[in-house]
Structure 1
Amino acid sequence: MKELIGALLIFSLSLGYGQEQNGSILKGRIVEKDSSNKEVHLERIGHHIPEIIVTADKKEAVAQETMLSLNVLDSRQIDEFKVWDIADLGALVPNLYAANPGDLRNVVSIRGISTTSYDPAVATYIDGVNQFSLDSYISQLNDVERIEVLRGPQGTLYGRNASGGVINIITKQPDNQMRGYIQMDYGSYNLQRYTAGIKLPLVADKLYFGAANMFSSRDGFFFNEFTSSSYDDVKLSQGNYFLKYQPSERWSLLLNVKHQLQLNDGAFPLVMGVDEAFQNPFKLSQNNNTTMRDRTLNFSLSAQYRHDSFVMNTQTSYQENYRFYKESIDGDFSDFDIISVVNNYGKDWNRNKVWMHETRFSSPARADSRTRWNTGIYGFVQDSPVKQGTHYGKDADMYGSPISNFTDVGINKLNSAGLAGFGQVDYQLLPSLTLTAGLRYDYEHKKLRIEGHFVPDEGEAMVTRTDTSASAHYSNFSPKLALGYRFSNAHRVYAMYNRGFRAGGISPLSSDPSEKALSPYESEHSDNFEIGSKNMFMDRKLKLNVTVFYTQMKNGQIPVLVMPEALTLMRNSGRLTSKGAELELSAIPFKGLELDGSFGYTDAEYKDLTIVENGENKDYSGNSPVFTPRTTGSLLARYTHYLSSGTDSRLVGGISYKNIGTQYFDMANNIRQDTYDLWNARIAYHYRHIELAVWGENLANQRYIDYAYDFGAVHLGGPRRYGLTAKVTF
């Protein structure tokens, strides 16, 4: 490990004394000076690696100039490499892994810090709005301008649940230029995906409108032998609407509405055991078949005011998610009537609602200023009433139940609220040396009310646990300190310490009497130290970024899975260390060929981990955390060939390769997936505003586990697929 880190740093820094670049870069365009000292903007598509303006640090900056471990995918990469879901970012970003068991709610891990409950460890933001929890989560991507992934804790500016990092998604927004697109995709498993969008000014320089919509459907990858039909058929619809008003040069207002509806006929295509998954791939036998209806709404109102001495940004947002199974869903993943899960108790239940607000003041961007500052307040209110029943059918004796044909109902009503204040300052100590310091204070209060019922089939409900409640509060400081040095416009190094945290909570009511309900658990903290080097070479034809990091997680929230309802309870008992290295590479070896690659190495293990299982203490110290590949690697290659000079007729071919290293899916490290490779390819014909493409995914038809539960239920990653794309832009 030491040799690897040393080699990467020495190689990067030894190249760091290159020549200054003659031009600066702004939003993908080269800015140079002509003989009269006037700026001349030259589009150099295919000649240079464009620099991208990002807002990862909650201020506009060139990505290569930020003192952060940061990956950026632009709209072209997102479209051409078919990044349709947040899970598709796995391995494209070094040390990032993402997957779900079939319900499209991704578990995301960065550098060994992974989501183990409905409170994520990696925060996701879409157009500035925090996707508060997996209950208010939009994973499907459409009409996206760019995706910024911040690796490592980001508690100072982003607050709660960013202990592993942040995924910052920015969709395309309207301006004075009218533009739009229509796209149709068809593929294996009867895939149909239709997307369309339009952006236009309603009143020039004053009022703008934008809309993007998506509808998709496909047959399931899995076949249910019990019903002789496909199991996980999915239909999705999504909309994203903007209305922007600029009453003056100083003021702007933006109203945004997002919605998503998922209808999933078999949300959890799982089988029991690794052997069963690989011996009979994509086959299962479940007797309870239902449709999961998952609807998410997201409203936000943002305002910006630009003063000569400050910039004010405010955003108020509301999220709501209503998710239920129309009939009970299989809980034993077999064709026996043992256990099923019920949660269709009406709109008063399983409807998560969150209000959030943030106001920030920041310094205006001035070339002559040595100081840039950013400060603000944040608050939220959450209401999450959950009612879920576990039904024991006629075969319940196979599970050890002395009685059958009844439902054990648990009610957990969570109300929480939080308030935070934060600030960050960038100060230029010397022309080439910058110091960044920041601090955030968070306070949260939670109250949980529980109640239990026993409901015999066709009988009256009996209260087994009366309405009882508990409260808890949490506070947290999240500091940040960084020092950056610029050798030249093309070469920089930085060293940074920052902290992230995942909020604490209260254990809900479960069917296991040994697991005490209403027990509070504390916040989880992760402290991160890293050194990074960012470099451009060969007149911006080669980019090389290297990072080494050491992260220590304290007071870790360890999941305790309670069966049969598959309810996750949290305990504080883990201390984890994670160290590793990351490399990002982009190159244009010659005109027409573009390469993007990444490599991530994570050495993560629990230094202190004891879990109670079946009344016994199990020492899992030395084990690896879940959803954490030892290595990740990717290579994206794109070649453009113009069919005739002076025209926009061209062929574009692309191939992507991913390598995901060995990882585990349970705390005991018994469920293991060895290293595997994934190959995707795409070739497209472009003529003016028309694009026609063919594509393939998992071309080698690799069989691999992408998700598994502690109790042994296993989900396979998608099989080989092919498709066609037709797109018209205007």
Structure 2
Amino acid sequence: MFEKQETICKLLRGAALTPLMAASIIAVPAMAQDDAATPSPPVAPAGNGQIQEIVVTAQFRDQNLQDTPLAITAIDSALIEARSQSNIEDVAKSAPSVQFTSGGQGGGAQTAAVNIRGIGASDFLFPNEPGVGIYIDDVYYGISLGSAFDLVDLDRVEVLRGPQGTLSGKNSIGGSIKMFSRKPDDDPDAYVQAEYGSYDRMQISGGTNITLAQDRLYARVTGLARSVDGFVKRLDYNCANDTDTAPGGTFALPTDNCVIGTEGGQNVFALRGALRFIANENIENTLTADYTKDHSEASPSKSIIYPSAQYITGPEEYTNYANYTGYPGTPEQFTNPAISYVTQWGIANTLDWQMGDNLALKSITAFRKTKGRSSWDGDNSPEHQVNDLNIFRHEQFTQELRLSADLGDMIDATIGGYYYNADSVFTGRVSNGAAGLDFVPNDPFDQESKSGFIHLVISPTDTLNFTGGLRYTKEDKTYTFSRSSAIPGDPVNPLVAPLDGLVGEFHGSHWDYRIAADYEFYPDIRLYAQIATGFKGGGVNPRPFTASQLVPYGQETSTSYEVGLKSFLFDRHLRLNLAAYHTDYNDYQGQVSSCPDISPPGFPFCSATLNVADADIDGFEAEFDFRPGEGLSFDGSVSYTDFQFTNPKAGSGIIAGETRPIFVPKWKYALGAQYEIGLGNRGTLRPRLDYAWQSDMESTIPNGVPGFTFGTVDSYGVLNARITYLSPDDDWEMALAATNLTDKFYYANKFDRFTQSGNVYGTVGRPREIRFSVKRRFN
């Protein structure tokens, strides 16, 4: 299955690389592969405080953000750094209609549940593919595991909201998050940055361009190393309470302050390299490679409700009694390491060939490999309810070809094809004491997706454009179940034993389309309207506790109707973008925790992905950037998402008009303010404040009905602050930053298992952290 050498050979053949190009050094996925054809977007204000254009590539070509008839949030590297945003989850907090929850469902700290406008995915296991596509320089990352990327050495991030069924990469039903990195050129663009902060945070990063042959060959090398101690202390119950009533024995001593270990710590090393070859004025090729080793701790969690109430620590204490031990006090006792490990590497090649004055070819070829292991103490107690170890491997090969042409003065056309092939395996140990289950899965999953697309922009005048897109996609998925006993010599539990050797498949296809029109009815003020569709392929429930729960689910589809306004006002001192939409959402793929219709009588345990209902989604979004005067800027966004289930399926637990979707806050807003204070020949001082708030949301289905009322994640807001000093020549930069300045205690996620096992627990957000950094630029 994992034929690495054959896949790499395909990559090299598909990219038509020269031996010199193949010598490129390694890279980090969090730092994104370079797209040589994409220019750096100028986002800094001009000398008079005006806002300049931002260049995006959402429609296969360089295009000003304000001219693109799509709802897009574009953030450049300067704003990312000014906001103290260190990963893609931080960026999502300030983007309208985007919810990014990492560490969910026991899949590890680097695993993300992402949705845009209420559409995404709720489970990390194969074959539940993401509903929001995450891209690194146009290379699609096909799984949720390990997708909570860091942001280092980026040029910009683009967040595309709404179905992306006809645009670049793989079809994405909810939207796309695209990261673009700096490209090698003749500017040294070198820097070294060191950082120290709370919880013994230590980080060093750096990068530089290298000119290997002037006007022909450039390289860029970047690296990152970070270590942060965990902030949730795992206490030994017997030690902390001077008792021996908890099963399993004593794991820590008073001399250790009764601390077994911590959760939430990070230990990351990453390296990336890019090699850009300019053969002539018409041919350019960029090869990148990356490597990341993330040996972080398990997700930080707390028990909220538990049958044995003494195992619950203080409501706002960053502590728990998790010992990651199964069968405590018995001969079968075992302890998992409290870890969340991910190792990734990849290689990608982007070829840009200007074949004529009006014809261009782009080829994007990539291979990625990810492996990891993570532990999950699902009860956060010294008892044995849930104590899982997840081990996963994933390999993917992608190829995208685009042929773009200018057909006269009125028509821009792009035709292309996309291929995705992935082989994955999920194994580890599933030990659920409450359900009486303990087994070892060893489940391979194979997926193949092929698509072809066409995209046209017709411009009858300089101010009026019509856009059309069409894509056909064919997908095939195969999931094979393997079940063996976790205890040598013991038989497999009779509930899961019948699953061994069973195969679940999905074979499907779909047509997607997009129709849009935009009109600049006044200089710098543009209206647009569009209809766009998207879909997400089906599969088979990967979490059956019994053979009866092994059921397939079909693909989900959406049709979105959107109108929007993009404007520059007050002589380009204000950028204001508005959007309103309605989405018809069919066959919602929901992970439900109650499924009596497919479970044995009286068996309450379920965690199944099923098509549970349809939905109507209505919402609006507003984003602004205001520069009232030289050095002063305000930015922000607000969004409203009204998600209503319709046509619930029997046995789903969904009640139309009452059940809420998961990970969808109805309201969300973000505000930021920055002022640049000139110190004459002593440099510049730049203070900044950012506040992001979201209303409450649900984390489980069903919800709001008897037995399922504890999964509500309360509303919360987080305030960040930063003050930066720049030397007169900008070569030196020092910054003092605080995230969660008010030390707000909040839950980012909750898990309502009250009906199944009497417990509820949550993933806690990071407390206040102070950081001091020094950066040296070499130009």
- Contact 2:689-2:720 within 8 A present in 1 as well: yes
Structure 1 counterpart of 2:360, from 308, 311, 321: 311
- Contact 2:644-2:656 within 8 A present in 1 as well: no
Alignment partner, residue 452 of structure 1: 483
Q: Tell me, yes or no, if structure 1 residue 502 matches structure 2 residue 536.
A: yes
* Aligned mates of 1:422, 1:575 — CA distance in 2: 27
- Contact 1:373-1:425 within 8 A present in 2 as well: yes
Structure 2 counterpart of 1:545, from 570, 577, 601: 577
Alignment partner, residue 632 of structure 2: 593
The structural deviation recorded for 1:718 is 1.2
Q: Tell me, yes or no, if structure 1 residue 298 matches structure 2 residue 346.
A: yes
Distance 1:530 1:262, change over 3 A: same
The structural deviation recorded for 1:459 is 5.6
- Residue by residue over 1:205-242, the C-alpha shift from the partner in whole angstroms, topping out at 9 and shown as x without a partner, is 11110111111111112111125143332201122210
- Contact 1:451-1:509 within 8 A present in 2 as well: no
Distance 1:728 1:568, change over 3 A: farther
Unaligned runs of 5+ in 1: 1-25, 31-41, 345-349
Alignment partner, residue 423 of structure 1: 454
SS at match of 1:135: coil
Alignment partner, residue 515 of structure 2: 481
- Residue by residue over 1:105-162, the C-alpha shift from the partner in whole angstroms, topping out at 9 and shown as x without a partner, is 2212211113212311111111110011113635111011101111111111146552
The structural deviation recorded for 1:587 is 1.0
* Aligned mates of 1:549, 1:168 — CA distance in 2: 22
SS at match of 2:172: coil
Distance 1:360 1:161, change over 3 A: closer
Instruction: Normalising by structure 2, report the TM-score.
Output: 0.81
* Aligned mates of 1:286, 1:245 — CA distance in 2: 52
* Aligned mates of 2:400, 2:776 — CA distance in 1: 38
- Aligned pairs, how many? 669
Structure 1 counterpart of 2:55, from 48, 53, 56: 53
Alignment partner, residue 658 of structure 1: 692
* Aligned residue type for 1:665: S
- Contact 1:444-1:474 within 8 A present in 2 as well: yes
SS at match of 2:741: coil
* Aligned mates of 1:498, 1:633 — CA distance in 2: 25
Distance 1:589 1:547, change over 3 A: same
Structure 1 counterpart of 2:112, from 99, 106, 116: 106
- Contact 1:593-1:638 within 8 A present in 2 as well: yes
Structure 1 counterpart of 2:121, from 100, 115, 125: 115
* Aligned mates of 2:101, 2:271 — CA distance in 1: 23
Distance 1:28 1:162, change over 3 A: closer
Distance 1:278 1:717, change over 3 A: farther
Worse overlay, 587-596 or 555-564 = 555-564
Alignment partner, residue 436 of structure 1: 467
* Aligned mates of 1:454, 1:472 — CA distance in 2: 28
Give the 5 Å matches for 1:697-712: 697-711=739-753, 712=760
Alignment partner, residue 391 of structure 1: 431
Structure 2 counterpart of 1:340, from 384, 387, 394: 387
Distance 1:407 1:719, change over 3 A: same
* Aligned mates of 1:459, 1:628 — CA distance in 2: 43
Alignment partner, residue 573 of structure 1: 612
SS at match of 2:501: strand
Distance 1:284 1:541, change over 3 A: same
Distance 1:206 1:27, change over 3 A: closer
Alignment partner, residue 768 of structure 2: 720
Structure 2 counterpart of 1:92, from 75, 91, 94: 94
Alignment partner, residue 9 of structure 1: none
Structure 2 counterpart of 1:67, from 59, 66, 69: 69
Alignment partner, residue 322 of structure 1: 371
Distance 1:466 1:680, change over 3 A: closer
* Aligned residue type for 1:66: T
Give the 5 Å matches for 1:13-24: none
Distance 1:222 1:161, change over 3 A: farther
Distance 1:335 1:269, change over 3 A: same
Alignment partner, residue 17 of structure 1: none
SS at match of 2:301: coil
Distance 1:342 1:47, change over 3 A: closer
The structural deviation recorded for 1:626 is 1.1
Q: Give the CA RMSD over aligned residues.
A: 2.6
Give the 5 Å matches for 1:671-682: 671-682=711-722
Alignment partner, residue 555 of structure 1: 587
Distance 1:662 1:235, change over 3 A: same
* Aligned residue type for 1:436: T
Unaligned runs of 5+ in 2: 1-38, 237-251, 253-258, 325-336, 596-602, 754-759
Alignment partner, residue 694 of structure 1: 736
The structural deviation recorded for 1:429 is 2.6
Give the 5 Å matches for 1:349-360: 350-360=392-402
Q: Tell me, yes or no, if structure 1 residue 602 matches structure 2 residue 641.
A: yes
Alignment partner, residue 369 of structure 1: 409
Worse overlay, 53-62 or 269-278 = 269-278
Alignment partner, residue 4 of structure 2: none
Worse overlay, 537-546 or 527-536 = 537-546
Structure 1 counterpart of 2:661, from 601, 625, 637: 625
Distance 1:706 1:203, change over 3 A: same
Q: Which has the higher strand share?
A: 1
* Aligned residue type for 1:249: E
Distance 1:466 1:650, change over 3 A: closer
* Aligned mates of 1:63, 1:720 — CA distance in 2: 35
Alignment partner, residue 225 of structure 1: 235
- Contact 1:117-1:568 within 8 A present in 2 as well: no
Q: Tell me, yes or no, if structure 1 residue 379 matches structure 2 residue 426.
A: no
The structural deviation recorded for 1:566 is 9.9
- Contact 1:410-1:510 within 8 A present in 2 as well: no
* Aligned residue type for 2:205: T
- Contact 1:189-1:218 within 8 A present in 2 as well: yes
- Residue by residue over 1:665-717, the C-alpha shift from the partner in whole angstroms, topping out at 9 and shown as x without a partner, is 12214322333221111111110200011111111111222112343331121
Distance 1:566 1:209, change over 3 A: farther
Instruction: Normalising by structure 1, report the TM-score.
Output: 0.87
Distance 1:565 1:153, change over 3 A: farther
Give the 5 Å matches for 1:8-47: 44-45=46-47, 47=49
Q: Tell me, yes or no, if structure 1 residue 172 matches structure 2 residue 187.
A: no
* Aligned residue type for 2:636: G
Distance 1:722 1:46, change over 3 A: farther
- Residue by residue over 1:546-574, the C-alpha shift from the partner in whole angstroms, topping out at 9 and shown as x without a partner, is 11111121011111348999985321122
Alignment partner, residue 125 of structure 1: 135
Distance 1:495 1:465, change over 3 A: closer
The structural deviation recorded for 1:729 is 0.8
SS at match of 2:145: helix
Alignment partner, residue 533 of structure 1: 565
Alignment partner, residue 526 of structure 2: 492
* Aligned residue type for 2:679: L
Distance 1:158 1:505, change over 3 A: farther
* Aligned mates of 1:472, 1:704 — CA distance in 2: 39
- Contact 1:95-1:601 within 8 A present in 2 as well: yes
* Aligned mates of 2:372, 2:492 — CA distance in 1: 24
Alignment partner, residue 212 of structure 1: 222
Alignment partner, residue 5 of structure 1: none
Worse overlay, 148-157 or 270-279 = 270-279
The structural deviation recorded for 1:253 is 1.2
Alignment partner, residue 414 of structure 1: 445
SS at match of 1:90: helix
The structural deviation recorded for 1:538 is 1.9
- Contact 1:277-1:716 within 8 A present in 2 as well: no
Alignment partner, residue 3 of structure 1: none
- Residue by residue over 1:234-259, the C-alpha shift from the partner in whole angstroms, topping out at 9 and shown as x without a partner, is 20112221011111111111111122
Alignment partner, residue 649 of structure 1: 683
Matched-pair identity in %? 24
